[in-house]
């Protein structure tokens, strides 16, 4: 049956150029590949968009919903979503700039305001998002809970701890150290916090320093979570002018006493994800973070 007949779903575009044209309504004038999955496309009105190819439809849906949820808070800057389908996601391109202290300070303030905009529960997905979502290439289940230590153990750390043991990346005796941390989470987690609206995968690669002098965030794994998790991710792989980011953050939303000692707790999940995806070195980092937390 022809895809063009009345009542049929529109055909999924077969190229990034066709996806850009479909979701912006403009004619494509030029394009160039950025990576194996990203293409920069220029339009006839002078705008430039980025087209992302995805092999998992739910991943693109989750990413688009996350970007829109972050944008709805009116705080941090994110690229506009023009549209998505089962294969493509089209967003505005962020022109490259240089990291700066003023941008870092403002980013910290905006990030605090984002977190304060809140979420219905720990683990709640963005409106229109997915319960079975992703963090990078890894699955991430957005089941909800109202107690952060229990939720974090059950729905973030334990699934990847078990997989790391099954894959031979962590030995059972080493996993027991992380399990000890999870048992003590209620006492180690610090004061109770309300669910924050998280980016969810806030490592340096997803923090773009724009030519407009502002920070823009991409590739979220957005959900309701603990605000210290985003800050721990910023520290995990390094972020330019991180101290200024933290200064700006605390101007808007002071952090609870002991937050620095809890960084390792919040890094356990991404470290175990990386251990499963990339190997033993990250498992050793997760083990070190767990041992530090138990001191």
Which listed residue (8, 146, 180, 201) is catalytic?
201
**H or E stretch including 90?**
strand 88-92
8 is catalytic: no
- Of 217, 230, 249, 250, the C-alpha closest to 108 is 249
248/233 Cα distance (integer angstroms):
17
Residues 6+ positions from 246 with CB-CB distance below 8 Å: 108, 231
Number of H helices, E strands in the chain: 11, 11
Q: What is the 3-state secondary structure (H, E, C) of 197-218?
A: EECCCCCHHHEEEECCCCEEEC
133/200 Cα distance (integer angstroms):
11
DSSP one-letter code for 108:
H
Token pair, residue 57, equals 């439809």
Token pair 């044209």: residue: 21
Number of other CB atoms surrounding residue 94 within 10 Å: 21
Q: What is the DSSP string of 11-80?
A: PPPSSHHHHHHHHH-S-EEEEEESSSSEEEEEETTS-EEEEEE-S-HHHHHHHHHHHHHHHHTTSSB-PP
Which residues are designated catalytic? 201
């Amino acid at each position: 049956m022809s895809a063009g007949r009345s009542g049929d779903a529109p055909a999924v575009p077969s190229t990034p150029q066709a996806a850009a044209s479909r979701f912006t309504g403009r004619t494509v004038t030029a394009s160039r590949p950025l990576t194996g999955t990203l293409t920069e496309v220029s339009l006839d009105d002078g705008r430039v968009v980025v087209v992302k190819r995805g092999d998992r439809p739910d991943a693109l849906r989750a990413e688009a919903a996350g970007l829109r949820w972050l944008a709805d808070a009116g705080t941090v800057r994110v690229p506009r979503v023009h549209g998505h389908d089962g294969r493509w996601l089209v967003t505005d391109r962020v022109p490259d700039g240089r990291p700066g202290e003023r941008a870092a300070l403002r980013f910290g303030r905006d990030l605090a305001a984002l977190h304060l905009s809140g979420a219905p529960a720990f683990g709640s997905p963005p409106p229109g998002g997915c319960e079975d979502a992703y963090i990078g290439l890894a699955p991430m289940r957005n089941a909800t809970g109202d107690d952060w230590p229990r939720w974090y153990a059950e729905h973030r750390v334990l699934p990847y701890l078990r997989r790391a043991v099954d894959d031979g990346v962590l030995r059972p005796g080493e996993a027991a150290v992380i399990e000890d941390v999870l048992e003590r989470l209620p006492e180690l987690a610090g004061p109770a916090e309300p669910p924050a609206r998280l980016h969810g995968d806030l490592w340096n690669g997803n923090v773009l320093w724009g030519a407009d002098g502002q920070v823009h965030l991409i590739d979220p794994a957005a959900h309701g979570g603990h605000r210290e998790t985003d800050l721990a991710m910023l520290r995990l792989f390094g972020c330019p002018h991180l101290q200024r980011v933290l200064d700006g953050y605390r101007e808007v939303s002071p952090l609870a006493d002991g937050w620095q000692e809890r960084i390792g707790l919040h890094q356990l999940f991404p470290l175990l994800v990386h251990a499963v995806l990339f190997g033993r070195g990250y498992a050793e980092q997760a083990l070190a973070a767990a041992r530090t937390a138990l001191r």
